[in-house]
Structure 1
Amino acid sequence: PVADSSMVVDANGSFVTMVQAGGLIFLHDFQENERYQVTSPGGPGCALEFTLSDNPEPDQYYETTTALCHAI
């Protein structure tokens, strides 16, 4: 998992959210075409790659998925 308290930024470097304990990330208003990166103080950053369901549940407020973080 990525380090707790790391920042998640968009392609412009704008702050999006923080990484929570255990590498959990909550992205409000996720944009599928946006590129998200994790920046970690004192460590290398990485680009997030999400695997989203082809058939999300319409009655769920949010979707849970996994992501890979590739070194940049």
Structure 2
Amino acid sequence: MGKTIKARFSKGVIEPMEKLDIAEGKEITRTIIEIPSLRKKDAFEKSAGRWKKTIDAEKLIKDIYEDRLTSTRNEPKP
């Protein structure tokens, strides 16, 4: 039987934040999934728009499409 609970890692110990109904001495397996902090998301959102007015977006798009038309493949031998 499996169950997902919240736990906190503090001072080298994983402490459950919920009551566990597990018999003393019972062998268990833990899977740890780190929940991303809000700080990382805030940093990403704060960076939005930082490229504005640093490049000419229209010229960049035009250059990309022109580069796609340039063939870099060798001609096949007859």
TM-score (norm 1): 0.25
Q: Which has the higher strand share?
A: 1
Which fold has the larger relative contact order, with Cα–Cα distance below 8 Å and residues 6 or more apart in sequence?
A: 1
Q: Which has the larger radius of gyration?
A: 2
Q: Which has the higher helix share?
A: 2
TM-score (norm 2): 0.24
